[in-house]
Chains A and B, each alone.
Chain A
Amino acid sequence: MAAATKGSKEQKYDRQLRLWGDHGQETLENAHVCLINATATGTEILKNLVLPGIGAFTIVDGHTVAGEDVGNKLTFLLQNRAQAATELLQELNSDVSGNFVEESPDKLLDNDPEFFHRFTIVIGVQLPESTCLRLGSVLWTASVPFLVCKTYGLLGYMRLVVQEHTVIESHPDNALEDLRLDQPFDEFKNHINSYDLTSMEKKDHSHTPWIIIVAKYLERWYLWTSGLLQLIAVEDLFNSEQCSNITVQSSSFWMMLRAVKEFVYNEGNGSLPVRGTIPDMIADSQKFINLQNVYREKSLQDAAAVSKHVERLLQSVGKPVESISEKDIKLFCKNAAFLRVVRCRSLAEEYHVDSINKDEITSCMESPDSEMVFYLMIRAVDRFYQLHSRYPGVYNYQVEEDISKLKLCVNSLLQEYSLNVNIKDDYIHEFCRYGAAEPHTVSAFLGGSAAQEAIKIISHQFVPFNNTFIYNAMSQTSATFQL
C-alpha cells in the first residue's frame, strides 16, 4: 500500500484505531460482510460497518424500493433495493467494495447455498422465520457467524448464532492488576529485598513505589485471594474438551491455551504467566522503571516457557513451529486472565420443542417488566406471517380484526412449547398496532448495536453478546437472554 494512502487511512481511522489497534483494523479490511435485506435497519447496520472500513460487503435483496422504504432511509425510488443501497453505501467510504445480488435469500438457498460460505459474517434483517431457520442451518454447518436482526415497531431484536467464538483481547473495563503480591516470584522477592525502608530518608520513602511497601508488609502476611481469582476465570477453559484434545485441527487459540495450562501446572506453580505491566504510581523514575522491568522480564521469561509448550504441541500434531508466532504467544500470555469463549446455541436448538430454554423464558416472565414478553411476541408475529403470508395490522382496517388472529398465534406458540406463561392482551394489541412498522430511530439503534457486534466477531476483540438482545424504545431499556 502506498505511503500516502496508508497515511490518509491512518488519519481517517485514527479515532477507532485507538480502540482496536492496527491489527484489529486489518481484520476489518479483510472481512466480507453479507447483508440480507436492505431495509432501514439493514442499511443502518451496513453504514456503521462501511464507515469503519470493512473490506467488502454484498447485499442480498430481491425487493424493489417502495414508497415507504424511501421514507425511513436515505435511498432512491424505483430501483432494486439492493442496488440502491449499495450505491449509497459505497459513497460513504471509497476504501470499501460493495456488491449486490438481486435475489431472495430463499432462492439462493434453493439453488446455491454455498454462496454464503465465502462471508466472514452474514447479517439477516427482517427475515421470516422459515428463511431464518434454513439459513441458520446452512451457516451453522459452514461455521459462518450469523447475526439475525429485526426492528418491529418500537422493538429491536438481535440473535447471534456462532458455534464457538474465541476472544483473546477482551479489553475488560475493570481489570485487576497482576502484581503477584500474594505469591512473589524470586526476582520480585530479590528486588523487594534490595530496599531497606528503615534506612531511607523521608524523601526517598515518599518516592518509593507503594508496591514495594505493601510487599514488605505482606511478607509477614500471606494472602490467597488475588491469585485464585485470576485462575478461576480461565479454569473452565482449561477443563474444556477443545483444550484437552489438541489435534491438527485445533485453532491457535486452543493450542496456546493448552500451552498456558501446561505452564500453569509446571513452571507457573499454579499461576498464569505474569502479565508484565504495573499501574502508574507516585515514585521516582528510576525506582519505578526498575520495578516495572522486574515484572516485564518475568513476563518475557514466562512467555518463553509457554512458547516451548506451544512448540511441543505443534510438533506433536505435525504442524510447523512457525504456525504460531512469538508475537501471538506474547499477546496471548498478556491477556491470559481475560480470555473469553462465546458459544451460542443454534437456532434449531432454540426453536425445537425439546430443547427450547423453557426455564429462562418462564422465570423471566415472572417479572412484569421483563423484555422477555417481546421475544415471545416477535415469535408469535413470525407465526402469524407463516400462517397468513403477511404481518398483522399493516393496513388500518386490519388492526382490529388481526388482534384475535394474533392472539391465536400467541396461544398456539405457548401451547406448542408448553410455556405456562401469561401474555397480556395489551401486548397483542400493541403488536397489531405496529403494523410491522420499521421506524427509523429504532432501526438506527439496532444499526449501531448490530454493527458493533459484527465488528467484535470479525476482529475477535471485545466480547459479543450471547445470544438474544431485545431493545425496547418505549422504555429505553434492554435485556440479553441466552436462549
Chain B
Amino acid sequence: MADAEEPEKKRRRFEDLTEKMAVDSGHRDSGCDWEGRWNHVKKFLERPGPFTHPDFEPSTESLQFLLETCKILVIGAGGLGCELLKNLALSGFRLIHVVDMDTIDVSNLNRQFLFRPKDVGRPKAHVAADFINSRIAGCKVVPHFKKIQDFNDSFYRQFHIIVCGLDSIIARRWINGMLISLLSYDEGVLDPSSIIPLIDGGTEGFKGNARVILPGMTACIDCTLELYPPQINFPMCTIASMPRLPEHCIEYVRILQWPKDGPFGDTSLDGDNPEHIQWVFERSQERAAEFSITGVTYRLTQGVVKRIIPAVASTNAVIAAACATEVFKIATSAYIPLNNYLVFNDVDGLYTYTFEAERKENCTACSQVPQDLQFPPSAKLQEVLEYLTETASLQMKSPAITTTLEGKNKTLYLQSVKSIEERTRPNLCKTLKELGLSDGQEIAVADVTTPQTVLFKLNFTA
C-alpha cells in the first residue's frame, strides 16, 4: 500500500502525476469559478491537519491540479457511472472521459438520473456527458460510445486515475489486465509512475462494494476472483425433464423451446423485445401447467431471460460516493486511501466492513509468475481446456490455446472463429504427447477475460 513506499518515491509519484498531462496545463478556466464555489473542497487542500496523508502538503496548487490537469476515466455511465460523474464534477474534477457501450432504457430511469424519458434509445455516454457539461460550469466530460476493448494502451495511459462502475466481471478483469500490462519494471523493480490506480465499484440490490487497486502493488481483480459468487445455472436434467420451480419452466423455453420453434423466424431471443418476452411467458405458463407449477409471471420471465439484477438509486449513490472519495484522496493525497476493500449492505440497518484484500502469490493477472499447467503427457487437450474454464482462480470463458512448435506458431484450439474451431476440434481428443508438446513447453492462452495472453508452463506429471 502507498504508505509502505519510501517517502522519496511517493513524492516523485505525486510530482509525476502533476506533470503527466502537459497538453492542458496552460489552460486556465477560472472565469467560470464564482466566489466560494470550491470552499468545501479548499478546506481539505489548503489547510494542514492531523489525519492527512504523510505526503500531503497544503497548497493552493492542488485545487488547480484538479481543475486543470487531473484526468479521470469513468468506465460505465449507468447506475454507478451517473453518480460518479456528478460526484467527480462537484469535487473539482473537470477533465473526465466516460466510456459506455449501452443506450438508455426506460428501466434505467429509476436511478440513472442524468437521463430523461426523452433520452431513451440514445447512447448513455453522450447523454451523460451533455448533462454534466451543460449543468456544471467548466466541466468537460468527453464521451465514448464504445466498448472498453475498443481502446488500446495508448488511450488508457493518458489517465491519472480510472474508476469503474461496470456490471460484468469479464469487463473488470479486462481493464484490470490492461492496467497491469501498462506497468513497467526497471531491473525487476516496479516503476511507480507506470501505476494507474483503479477504483472499482459494484452494486446489487442493497449490497455493494468499493475497492482501491494499485496495479502491481495491491490485490487486483483476479487476486480475489473467488470472492465473486458463481452465476446460477440450473442443471440441464432439471430444465429438460424435472422442473420444480417457475424459473425452470422459463429456462426450458429460453434454452430448448425457442431454438426448436423459432417463433420469429431465425432471430435469437432478445430480452429487450416485449414480443419475445411475451411469447416466452406464454410458453412458460403452458410448461408450468403441465407440471402443476405455479408462479410464472411476466416479471419473473423477463427477470430470468435477461438475468436482471434488482437495483435502486440509494445503493448506487452510496458506493459511487465511496469511490469518488477515494479518487479525490488519491488525486490530492489529502488522506490515506482505502486499504483496500469496502463492503456495504443496508438490508438490516447499515453494515459496512473494511478489510485489506491480499495479493495472490501466483495470481494469473498480476503475479508475473508463469502459470503452472500440470498434466500427464497422456492427458487430452480437452482436459486442459476444462481446467482453464472451470478452475475458480482462472474462470476463462473460451480460451484460445496456442504454442510454438518447430519454430512456428501453432493454434491448438480456438473456439471463437467457426472455421478454426472446426479445424482444431479434433485436437481436443488428442493427448498432449500426440500434439507434440514437451515438458516445460510454454503455452499461450488468450481469452475475453484478459487483454494480454496468459503464459503457462507445461509440467508433465508421471
In the complex, what residue of chain A is closest to B315 when comparing beta carbons?
A: A448
B310: interface (CB < 8 Å)? yes
Q: State which of B38-46, B148-156, B394-402, B440-448 sits at the interface with chain A.
A: B38-46
A12-B107, A71-B41 known; A48-B34 Cβ under 8 A: no
A433-B43, A444-B317, A448-B314 known; A47-B348 Cβ under 8 A: no
A67-B35, A284-B242, A399-B47 known; A477-B352 Cβ under 8 A: yes
User: Do the beta carbons of B310 and A15 come within 8 Å of each other?
Assistant: yes
User: Do the beta carbons of A445 and B348 come within 8 Å of each other?
Assistant: no
Interface 1/0s, chain A 429-444, versus B by CB < 8 A?
1100111011111111
User: Do the beta carbons of B324 and A449 come within 8 Å of each other?
Assistant: no
A70-B34, A171-B347, A477-B354 known; A430-B321 Cβ under 8 A: no
Which of B51, B315, B326 is the one whose CB lies under 8 Å from A452? B315
B83: interface (CB < 8 Å)? yes
Q: How far is the CB of A41 from chain B (nearest CB, A)?
A: 11
In the complex, what residue of chain A is closest to B115 when comparing beta carbons?
A: A92
Q: How far is the CB of A392 from chain B (nearest CB, A)?
A: 12
8 A Cβ contacts from B305-357 to A: 308-322, 324-326, 328, 335-336, 338, 342, 345-350, 352, 354
Which of B40, B346, B347, B349 is the one whose CB lies under 8 Å from A440? B40
8 A Cβ contacts from A1-33 to B: 8, 11-19
A426: interface (CB < 8 Å)? yes
Q: State which of A134-142, A222-230, A348-356, A458-466 sits at the interface with chain B.
A: A458-466
Q: How far is the CB of B55 from chain A (nearest CB, A)?
A: 15
Which of B244, B322, B345 is the one whose CB lies under 8 Å from A445? B322
Query: Whole-angstrom distance between the alpha carbons of A66 and B235 in the complex?
Result: 61
User: Do the beta carbons of B206 and A19 come within 8 Å of each other?
Assistant: yes
Contacts of B50 in A (CB 8 A): 426, 429-430
Q: How far is the CB of A125 from chain B (nearest CB, A)?
A: 15
A264: interface (CB < 8 Å)? no
Contacts of B243 in A (CB 8 A): 285
Q: State which of A72-80, A316-324, A359-367 sits at the interface with chain B.
A: A72-80
Which of A12, A15, A68 is the one whose CB lies under 8 Å from B311? A15
8 A Cβ contacts from A435-483 to B: 435, 437-445, 447-449, 451-453, 455, 462-466, 469, 471, 473-478, 480
User: Do the beta carbons of B90 and A71 come within 8 Å of each other?
Assistant: yes
User: Do the beta carbons of B106 and A462 come within 8 Å of each other?
Assistant: no
Contacts of A435 in B (CB 8 A): 43, 47
A172: interface (CB < 8 Å)? yes
Query: Whole-angstrom distance between the alpha carbons of A130 and B320 in the complex?
Result: 33
User: Do the beta carbons of B41 and A52 come within 8 Å of each other?
Assistant: no
Query: Whole-angstrom distance between the alpha carbons of A440 and B87 in the complex?
Result: 7
Query: Whole-angstrom distance between the alpha carbons of A171 and B348 in the complex?
Result: 9
User: Do the beta carbons of A285 and B205 come within 8 Å of each other?
Assistant: no
In the complex, what residue of chain A is closest to B39 when comparing beta carbons?
A: A68
Q: How far is the CB of A216 from chain B (nearest CB, A)?
A: 20
Query: Whole-angstrom distance between the alpha carbons of A92 and B83 in the complex?
Result: 14
Query: Whole-angstrom distance between the alpha carbons of A430 and B51 in the complex?
Result: 7
Query: Whole-angstrom distance between the alpha carbons of A383 and B258 in the complex?
Result: 69
Query: Whole-angstrom distance between the alpha carbons of A426 and B48 in the complex?
Result: 12
Contacts of B318 in A (CB 8 A): 444-445, 448-449
Query: Whole-angstrom distance between the alpha carbons of A358 and B322 in the complex?
Result: 32
A16-B312, A476-B342 known; A462-B348 Cβ under 8 A: yes
Contacts of B87 in A (CB 8 A): 440-441, 444
User: Do the beta carbons of A283 and B47 come within 8 Å of each other?
Assistant: no
B245: interface (CB < 8 Å)? yes
B49: interface (CB < 8 Å)? yes
A71-B39, A280-B245, A437-B40 known; A52-B321 Cβ under 8 A: no
A282: interface (CB < 8 Å)? yes
Interface 1/0s, chain A 311-343, versus B by CB < 8 A?
000000000000000000000000000000000
Contacts of A452 in B (CB 8 A): 206, 312, 314-315, 346
Contacts of A471 in B (CB 8 A): 352
User: Do the beta carbons of A51 and B242 come within 8 Å of each other?
Assistant: no
Tell me which of A77, A285, A473 has the highest count of chain B C-beta atoms within 10 A of its own C-beta: A285
Contacts of A72 in B (CB 8 A): 40, 90
Contacts of B420 in A (CB 8 A): none
A18-B299, A441-B321 known; A67-B34 Cβ under 8 A: yes
Tell me which of B51, B116, B313, B347 has the highest count of chain A C-beta atoms within 10 A of its own C-beta: B313
Q: How far is the CB of B70 from chain A (nearest CB, A)?
A: 15
A288: interface (CB < 8 Å)? yes
B293: interface (CB < 8 Å)? yes
B113: interface (CB < 8 Å)? yes
Contacts of A281 in B (CB 8 A): 244
Q: How far is the CB of B364 from chain A (nearest CB, A)?
A: 28
A172-B348, A289-B293, A444-B321 known; A474-B313 Cβ under 8 A: no
Query: Whole-angstrom distance between the alpha carbons of A18 and B298 in the complex?
Result: 12
A207: interface (CB < 8 Å)? yes
Q: How far is the CB of B79 from chain A (nearest CB, A)?
A: 9
Contacts of A282 in B (CB 8 A): 235, 238, 242
Query: Whole-angstrom distance between the alpha carbons of A170 and B352 in the complex?
Result: 19
User: Do the beta carbons of A462 and B313 come within 8 Å of each other?
Assistant: no
A44: interface (CB < 8 Å)? yes
A416: interface (CB < 8 Å)? no
Contacts of B342 in A (CB 8 A): 476
Q: How far is the CB of B232 from chain A (nearest CB, A)?
A: 11
Which of A16, A442, A476 is the one whose CB lies under 8 Å from B310? A16
A396: interface (CB < 8 Å)? yes
User: Do the beta carbons of B37 and A67 come within 8 Å of each other?
Assistant: yes
User: Do the beta carbons of A462 and B347 come within 8 Å of each other?
Assistant: yes
A70-B37, A474-B335, A475-B354 known; A445-B312 Cβ under 8 A: no
Q: How far is the CB of A60 from chain B (nearest CB, A)?
A: 22
8 A Cβ contacts from B33-88 to A: 34-41, 43-44, 46-51, 83, 86-87
8 A Cβ contacts from A50-102 to B: 51-53, 66-68, 70-74, 77, 91-94
A426-B50, A451-B313, A474-B51 known; A14-B321 Cβ under 8 A: no
B111: interface (CB < 8 Å)? yes
In the complex, what residue of chain B is closest to A73 when comparing beta carbons?
A: B90
Q: How far is the CB of B154 from chain A (nearest CB, A)?
A: 30
User: Do the beta carbons of A207 and B242 come within 8 Å of each other?
Assistant: yes
A173: interface (CB < 8 Å)? yes
User: Do the beta carbons of B321 and A442 come within 8 Å of each other?
Assistant: yes
Query: Whole-angstrom distance between the alpha carbons of A289 and B243 in the complex?
Result: 10
8 A Cβ contacts from A89-123 to B: 91-94
In the complex, what residue of chain A is closest to B132 when comparing beta carbons?
A: A74
Tell me which of A66, A67, A171 has the highest count of chain B C-beta atoms within 10 A of its own C-beta: A67
Q: How far is the CB of B71 from chain A (nearest CB, A)?
A: 19
Contacts of A476 in B (CB 8 A): 210, 322, 325-326, 338, 342, 352, 354
Interface 1/0s, chain A 258-292, versus B by CB < 8 A?
00000000000000000000001111111011001
B109: interface (CB < 8 Å)? yes
User: Do the beta carbons of B43 and A465 come within 8 Å of each other?
Assistant: no
Contacts of A71 in B (CB 8 A): 36-41, 90
Query: Whole-angstrom distance between the alpha carbons of A13 and B205 in the complex?
Result: 13
Q: How far is the CB of A28 from chain B (nearest CB, A)?
A: 11
Contacts of B313 in A (CB 8 A): 47-48, 51-52, 448, 451
Please name 18 further chain A to chain B contacts, defined as beta carbons within 8 Å, in addition to the given A13-B110, A15-B308, sorted by A numbering: A52-B111, A282-B235, A292-B244, A429-B49, A434-B43, A440-B90, A441-B328, A442-B325, A445-B325, A447-B317, A448-B319, A452-B314, A462-B206, A463-B348, A476-B210, A476-B342, A476-B354, A478-B350
User: 17 A-B residue contacts at CB 8 Å?
Assistant: A14-B302, A17-B299, A19-B206, A48-B314, A67-B35, A92-B113, A154-B44, A173-B347, A280-B244, A280-B245, A284-B242, A430-B51, A437-B40, A440-B87, A444-B83, A448-B314, A473-B322
Leading 10 A-B pairs by shortest Cβ distance: A448-B317, A67-B36, A448-B318, A444-B321, A445-B321, A465-B349, A426-B50, A452-B314, A18-B310, A68-B39
